[in-house]
Amino acid sequence: MATAASALLRRAPFALAAAVPAGLAGCNWLGSESGDGHKFRIDAVDVLPITHLKDQGFTSAGLSNQKSFGYAKFISDDDCVLGDVILKKTTDPVRARAYMRAGPRETLHFDPKDTRAAIVTCGGLCPGLNTVVKNLVEILGTRYGVEKVYGIRGGYRGFTAVGWDAPLELDAAAVGDVHREGGTVLGTSRGGFDAEKIVDWLKAKRVNQLYVVGGDGTHRGAYKLAELCWEKGVNIAVAGVPKTIDNDIGIIDRSFGFMTAVSEATRAIEAARTEASCNMPNGIGVVKLMGRSAGFLAAYATLASQDVDLCLVPEVPIVLDGPSGLLPHLERVVDQKGHAVVVVAEGAGEEVLGASAEVDAGGNRKLPPIGTWLKDRITAHFKSLDREATIKYIDPSYMVRSVSADASDSYLCMLLAHAAAHGAMAGYTGFTVGLANNRTVMIPIPELAKASPRSLNATGRTWERVVAVTNQPCNTARCDVQQMTSDKAVQAATGGDA
């Protein structure tokens, strides 16, 4: 390791080759070389391009950005951020993926004094929604000086539903304190997407920038709007800000609000531990957390709390009985400690409960009641052993998502809002923003949608840590999990899992 590290420090970082076509950059970086000829190497970097409105035939204002951000370093379109920083020794050619770096550009596509923006929040609540709205309004209105910023009420429905289609007019005074509150000042809803009507609304209000805050489904809709604007010859930039309480959006390091939700979830776990340890005999606390198809919230809350004895997630099958079953495991924990704490993600247990055919207005499949089912199974199991047990069930699902963002997430919300505004003012469209290896980047929406929703890697490091911390049986973690066929399959399904 020391040899590899010293080699990486000595050698110059990769250089983008100027003669390479757009979207593809050659790299002349070789790291440590071992005796068998294997190298740490990157032979080429594929930079995912973002559509620019001028590429669709729209005339750019071509204004200098010196007035608004002349004090700062402008970001060049040649700047990129590597998507995967983990390398393996290989003799095969290696192509790395990279994303365009976000930040203020030197030239503006839109003239601020003729620019009207609209902001819409869609889907479920998440800590930090108001902080994103606040920072979008302030950077657009105060720093760039755009003519007007609209707030769309109630998600996509707010563009078309009668009684909802009167937007709020937002300025710095209107959003000054909204970051202190949970939820979204604009309101939200699921469904109601009608691309034709939305574009007609944008044209009627002379809006030329649309900021969409939502999950992967919301982003798919946003990209349809961007495409329709191109087809209709409407000079509108569409920018996304990814949002999900489940942290299951691909490519990005994490979603805003996720770590706040983890912190709130640990409070529920602490309450469950208190109830379980004080209610004798054999107290067991069961906490159900959000996590429709991904167990990130349950896993991270488990690791953060250090009080959980069993964590159940959608990616790992539930094994109830037998030497490695969860019920005998809880027996052993109770015998040793006198109590136990269980965390279960809402999407876990489909293999024992079955899948529901019902869907909500947003197209999400309704989930069976895993929390109460698990509580009943634990109760029945201890009763079958002629042992008394006190089961306390806590469901803080809506509590963890309806609070305001903590300091870390507030900072992330600011970064993302600024990144979206800079990209749109420069004339980019059909993109979203996020952290990639702790750097703000612009991501083509189709790439984000393709990688979402992602899942927790059931053979990865995070789940390994969960098993180590809870000491739950291996059969309820790795051994019964169907192994993916290659590292590439794992990477595609999980977006990486360090």
Q: Which residues are catalytic?
A: 246
In this structure, are residues 120 and 188 in contact, taking their beta carbons and an 8 Å threshold? no
In this structure, are residues 118 and 152 in contact, taking their beta carbons and an 8 Å threshold? yes
Residue with tokens 């479920």: 124
In this structure, are residues 293 and 248 in contact, taking their beta carbons and an 8 Å threshold? yes
The angle at the Cα of 291, spanning 287 to 294, to the nearest 5 degrees, equals 130
List b or e across 110-127, with b for residues whose CB sees 16 or more CB atoms inside 10 angstroms.
Answer: bebeebbbbbbbbbbbbb
Cα–chain center distance at 29: 31
Backbone angles phi, psi at 241, to 5 degrees: -130, 115
Distance CA 181, CA 444 (A): 31
Distance CA 206, CA 150 (A): 11
In this structure, are residues 487 and 338 in contact, taking their beta carbons and an 8 Å threshold? no
Nearest CA to 287 out of 312, 319, 321 is that of: 312
SS3 sequence of 207-244: CCEEEEEECHHHHHHHHHHHHHHHHHCCCCEEEEEECC
